[in-house]
């Protein structure tokens, strides 16, 4: 049978027993008939994304779920760049940026340029394509005052310091090499030249002249942080020759998905919170399964509730995730798409009591026609620890899923 994979990811799902939930985890406490149905029909287990006891970020967690290792992690800058729709190549150095208001001596008057919302596209395009000493600048606006800058050219390094002084009233911090490598010093020198040039260009830009006339702060400077170099990694979809799609809203997840070669399906109604449009998400996932071999369906609210230490909110979010899976399961039945393997996972645990990511393993399920099953009947952290998939790592989980697509190499003869 030619199978397809639907991987449903509840962000930060894993948790710990909560007093307010009678000593149960939010996932144990929540009413989740559809998640339990998948657990009962399939194989379950628990998973350490990277290694036991090591918390991971949403970016690395998804990178691993999509088939990469920690050595491939490019840092925040490149992931943000991909999330903004930029295409990076190996050796590019990406920075997260703010548009800021500077005075004539490069002193920061406002780190967010009066929280500018309009005109950043024009400002960004005035910087995009700039070239300094043979290094090309790619520049793209992001939400509000944020932007992403990519430097492209030979011999660049990511080991350069941030130029954001983090405080108003201080001058833009000239970037320095973080080590003695000449490429670091070279990159810092180029970066400083670019920031000066950007200040010149932006100060004269019509958007800023008009802002000043209206009494608004001009976005006439750039502050950079989080330099990261794009490693020489290929898109996993090209390496293994399969088609994949990610249904999500969060730019970090979309960034990792684009880096991995996934197509993107997103919508304004995907809010990244509990009011997200689960009907549309489910229907996008079903549509995507018609044209792709692997579809990732991401749900964010579970993580937010963990960060807010809101166990009852997390229960509600989980029950909404469960309804979304219910819609997926019934649509697949209606459309007679029997070849779809449904997998459940999370990118990390976000226990309410910790309000942060933790190294607790997350529960997993793999459920598909004629695939092995175990005796576990509930999808939760405690039950799944008794499952047939045992305790595995994120890399194992991804490999198991891709083996059902029959795209990974065979070893030996
Ligand atoms: Zn996450």
- Taking only the tens place, the pLDDT of each residue in 224-283 is 998 999 999 999 999 999 999 999 999 999 999 999 999 999 999 998 888 899 999 999
Distance from residue 357's CA to the centre of ligand 1 (Å): 8
Distance CA 365, CA 342 (A): 8
Q: Which of 202, 229, 256 is the last residue of a domain?
A: 229
Q: Are residues 241 and 358 in the same domain?
A: yes
Q: Are residues 289 and 380 in the same domain?
A: yes
Q: Which domain holds residue 243?
A: 4-72+234-405
Distance from residue 300's CA to the centre of ligand 1 (Å): 7
Q: Are residues 372 and 288 in the same domain?
A: yes
- Residues 6+ positions from 260 with CB-CB distance below 8 Å: 63, 66, 67, 68, 235, 236, 237, 244
Distance from residue 122's CA to the centre of ligand 1 (Å): 32
Q: Are residues 120 and 242 in the same domain?
A: no
Distance from residue 169's CA to the centre of ligand 1 (Å): 35
Distance from residue 355's CA to the centre of ligand 1 (Å): 12
Q: So what's the pLDDT on residue 310?
A: 98
Distance from residue 254's CA to the centre of ligand 1 (Å): 12
Distance CA 195, CA 323 (A): 49
Share of the chain above pLDDT 70, in %: 100
> What is the pLDDT averaged over residues 1-7?
94
How many domains is the chain built from? 2
What six digits make up the tokens of 333? 């039945």
Q: Are residues 262 and 379 in the same domain?
A: yes
Distance from residue 59's CA to the centre of ligand 1 (Å): 7
Q: Are residues 263 and 185 in the same domain?
A: no
Distance CA 355, CA 296 (A): 25
At 75, the pLDDT band (50, 70, 90 cuts) reads confident
Distance CA 289, CA 52 (A): 32
The gap between the terminal CA atoms of the chain, to the nearest Å, is: 23
Distance CA 340, CA 297 (A): 14
Q: Look up the CATH number of the domain holding residue 66.
A: 3.40.720.10
- The number of beta carbons lying within 10 Å of the beta carbon of residue 225 is 15
């Amino acid at each position: 049978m030619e199978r397809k994979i639907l991987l449903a990811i509840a962000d930060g799902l894993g948790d710990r027993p909560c007093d307010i939930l009678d000593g149960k985890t939010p996932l144990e406490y929540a009413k989740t008939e559809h998640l339990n149905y998948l657990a009962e029909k399939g194989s379950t287990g628990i998973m350490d994304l990277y290694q036991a006891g090591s918390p991971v970020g949403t970016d690395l967690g998804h990178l691993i779920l999509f088939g990469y290792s920690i050595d491939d992690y490019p840092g925040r800058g490149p992931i943000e760049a991909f999330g903004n729709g930029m295409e990076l190549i190996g050796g590019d150095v990406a920075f997260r940026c703010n548009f800021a208001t500077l005075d004539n001596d490069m002193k920061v008057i406002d780190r967010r340029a009066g929280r500018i919302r309009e005109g950043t596209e024009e400002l960004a395009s005035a910087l995009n394509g700039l070239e300094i000493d043979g290094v090309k600048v790619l520049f793209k606006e992001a939400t509000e005052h944020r932007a992403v800058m990519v430097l492209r050219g030979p011999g660049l390094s990511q080991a350069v310091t941030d130029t954001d002084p983090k405080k108003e009233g201080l001058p833009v911090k000239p970037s320095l090499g973080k080590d003695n490598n000449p490429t670091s010093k070279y990159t810092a020198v180029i970066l400083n030249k670019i920031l000066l040039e950007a200040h010149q260009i932006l100060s004269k830009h019509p958007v800023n002249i008009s802002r000043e006339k209206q009494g608004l702060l001009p976005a006439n400077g750039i502050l950079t942080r989080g330099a990261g170099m794009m490693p020489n990694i290929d898109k996993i979809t090209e390496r293994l020759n399969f088609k994949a799609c990610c249904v999500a809203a969060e730019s970090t997840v979309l960034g990792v998905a684009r880096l991995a070669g996934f197509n993107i399906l997103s919508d304004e109604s995907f809010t990244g919170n509990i009011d997200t449009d689960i009907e549309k998400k489910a229907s996008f996932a079903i549509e995507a399964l018609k044209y792709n071999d692997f579809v990732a369906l991401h749900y964010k609210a579970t993580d937010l509730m963990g960060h807010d230490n809101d166990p009852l909110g997390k229960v509600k979010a989980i029950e909404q995730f469960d309804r979304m899976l219910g819609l997926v399961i019934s649509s697949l039945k209606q459309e007679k798409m029997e070849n779809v393997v449904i997998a459940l996972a999370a990118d990390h645990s976000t226990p309410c009591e910790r309000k942060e990511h933790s190294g607790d393993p997350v529960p997993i399920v793999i459920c598909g026609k004629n695939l092995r099953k175990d005796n576990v009947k509930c999808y939760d952290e405690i039950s799944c620890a008794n499952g047939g998939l045992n305790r595995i790592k994120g890399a194992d989980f991804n490999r198991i899923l891709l083996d059902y697509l029959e795209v990974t190499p065979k070893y030996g003869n």
